[in-house]
């Protein structure tokens, strides 16, 4: 049995407290008054950093020139003030969105690790793989975060439209919808009630599978036959079908709908590929940690090799989907779709392309060599890069739609990351203490113990 070391517990609690402070700071400093934003913009324009303000004014000025003969000076001034007011309000909204979006990105990132591990776990059962049973309890420990994690994501999403001022999803704002024909057309799907109910159904399905597979897996330890094993096999196959549908819809709801004017067909798989890489990386991390503490003697470097191969393979799969999505839209260049990438390339150049280096180039070159995949510190190093890369990936999906060019990875983002990292460590390692770390009577566990590549 694993015991949650006090050191780690304190560390996770410290992370949560630090994170809460950071998140609190983010929310405290994001409420800017109209005048505050005006000063910020004026200062930026003064430093030559102003972009929107000047262009917006130039456009208004031009418009004035053409209409100068027809319009009186009074209306000109009014429209000028209107433009200015609109712009300041827009920026004010973006600044207010930042702590919400930062919280949401971090919450989703850790939720997606647990969900990716759950899907990987189900695949291991359904494929009756012989190498992984010694890692089952580690995977079950990680998926314990799914219930709190997913509920938090859904809660933040709904709260942003009820408590907050529609800080993540603009389609939740009745004001916006009233003036937007495109969102009106989608309101059959994109409405807050539907969103919340669908989210609860997804979470219920995932968590049900998680609870039952865990229950049967533990029951199998002391059983005399393989009834529990067969049951888990069946529910795993059924879960995978349910998961592929709900994961796709979840990605439309929870991520794609931050840009309600944009859509992409392979988005669900793209999100899936990212969550699988992160999940497998975290399995490798936690297995290595537990092994280094002497809790998983049966995990050998061949298991690590297999995990690293999956990290490598899914990194490339992720890049394949990223590129397929990007290239198709870039090539066809249809205005209604391409704005998605135009804003990202203009305002997020470094995270947008930097993430490709972190998520594709680096793992591709580092994890290609078979010998390196067996060296713990090497896999950990590659894994850290992959996790950072995929955090930035989620960041790139959410931020451009919420804070636009007012992004920065500062205290609100790092605070939220630390908060959920602490929570994740606390929940996962707490769950690991609840059952023996070896699935004793799993029919494949002997094979797994002697697994070598």
Partner 1 sequence: MEASKVIHAIYTDDDVLMNAVKTVKAEKHHIEEIYTPFPVHGLDKAMGLAPTRIAITSFLYGCVGLTVAIVMMNFIMIEDWPQNIGGKPSFSYIENMPAFVPIMFELTVFFAAHLMVITFYLRSKMWPFKKAENPDPRTTDDHFLMEIAVHGNENELTNLLQKTGAVEVNIIDKEDEH
* Site residues (vs partner 1, CB under 8 A): 323, 326-327, 330-331, 333, 368, 370
| Residue 364 beta carbon to partner 1: minimum distance, rounded to whole angstroms | 11
CB of 125 or CB of 322, closer to partner 1? 322
CB burial readout 257-268, b (16+ within 10 A) else e:
bbbbebebeebb
Q: Which residue has the tokens 């609190």?
A: 24
- Measured CA angle at 387 (ends 385, 392), to 5 deg: 95
Residue 410 Rama label (left phi>0; alpha psi -120 to 50; beta): beta
DSSP secondary structure of 350-388: HHHHHHHIIIIIHHHHHS-STTGGG-HHHHHHHHHHHHH
Please report how close the Cβ of residue 169 comes to partner 1 at its closest, in angstroms: 30
Query: In the bound complex, what is the minimum distance in angstroms from residue 330's beta carbon to partner 1?
Result: 5
CB of 369 to partner 1, least distance (A): 9
Report, in Å, the least distance between residue 316 CB and partner 1: 11
Smallest gap from residue 265 Cβ to partner 1 (A): 18
Instruction: Rank residues 292 and 370 by Cβ distance to partner 1 and give the closer one.
Output: 370
> Which residues, 6+ apart, have CB-to-CB distance to 252 below 8 Å?
267, 268
Q: Which of 34, 156, 14 is nearest to 99 (CA)?
A: 156
Nearer to partner 1, 45 or 316 (CB): 316
The residue (of 121 and 451) whose beta carbon lies closer to partner 1 is: 451
Nearer to partner 1, 77 or 333 (CB): 333
Is the CB of 242 or the CB of 453 nearer to partner 1? 453
Structure token digits, residue 278: 């992160």
Minimum distance of partner 1 from residue 321's CB (angstroms): 14
From CA 205, how far away is CA 397, in angstroms rounded?
Answer: 25
**C-alpha dist (Å) from residue 173 to 16, 224, 263, 441:** 31, 57, 19, 54
Residue 235, SS3 per DSSP? helix
User: Closer to partner 1 at the Cβ: 209 or 340?
Assistant: 340
């Amino acid at each position: 049995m694993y015991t949650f070391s006090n050191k780690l517990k304190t560390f996770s609690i410290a992370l949560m407290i630090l994170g809460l402070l950071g998140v609190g700071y983010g929310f405290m400093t994001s409420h800017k008054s109209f005048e505050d934003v005006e000063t910020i913009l004026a200062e930026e324009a003064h430093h030559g950093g102003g972009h929107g303000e000047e262009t917006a004014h130039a456009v208004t000025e031009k418009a004035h020139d053409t209409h100068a003969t027809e319009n009186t000076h009074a209306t000109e001034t009014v429209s000028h003030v209107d433009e200015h007011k609109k712009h300041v309000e827009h920026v004010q909204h973006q600044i207010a969105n930042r702590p919400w979006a930062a919280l949401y990105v971090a919450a989703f990132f850790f939720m997606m690790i647990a969900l990716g591990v759950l899907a990987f776990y189900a695949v291991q059962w359904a494929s009756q793989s012989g190498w992984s049973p010694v890692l089952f309890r580690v995977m079950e420990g990680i998926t314990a975060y799914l219930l709190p994690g997913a509920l938090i994501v859904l809660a933040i999403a709904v709260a942003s439209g009820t408590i907050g001022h529609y800080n993540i999803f603009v389609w939740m704002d009745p004001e916006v919808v009233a003036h937007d024909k495109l969102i009106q057309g989608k309101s059959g799907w994109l409405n807050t009630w539907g969103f919340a109910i669908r989210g609860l159904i997804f979470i219920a399905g995932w968590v049900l599978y998680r609870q039952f597979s865990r229950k049967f897996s533990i029951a199998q330890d002391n059983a005399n036959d393989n009834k529990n094993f067969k049951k888990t096999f069946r529910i795993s196959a059924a879960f995978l079908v349910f998961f592929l549908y709900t994961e796709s819809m979840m990605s439309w709801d929870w991520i794609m709908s931050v840009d309600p004017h944009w859509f992409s067909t392979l988005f669900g798989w793209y999100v899936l590929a990212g969550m699988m890489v992160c999940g497998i990386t975290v399995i490798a991390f936690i297995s290595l940690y537990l092994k280094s503490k002497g809790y998983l003697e049966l995990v050998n470097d061949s298991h690590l090799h297999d995990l690293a191969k999956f990290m490598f393979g899914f990194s490339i799969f992720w890049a394949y989907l990223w590129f397929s999505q990007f290239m198709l839209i870039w090539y066809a260049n249809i205005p209604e779709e391409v704005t998605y990438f135009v804003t990202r390339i203009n305002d997020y150049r470094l995270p947008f392309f930097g993430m490709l280096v972190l998520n594709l180039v680096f793992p591709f070159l580092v994890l290609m060599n078979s010998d390196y995949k067996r060296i713990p510190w090497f896999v950990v190093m590659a894994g850290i890069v992959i996790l950072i890369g995929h955090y930035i990936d989620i960041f790139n999906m959410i931020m451009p739609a919420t804070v636009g060019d007012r992004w920065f990875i500062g205290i609100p983002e790092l605070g939220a990351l630390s908060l959920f990292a602490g929570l994740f460590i606390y929940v996962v390692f707490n769950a690991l203490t609840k059952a023996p770390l070896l699935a004793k009577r799993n029919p494949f566990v002997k094979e797994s113990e002697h697994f070598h590549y």
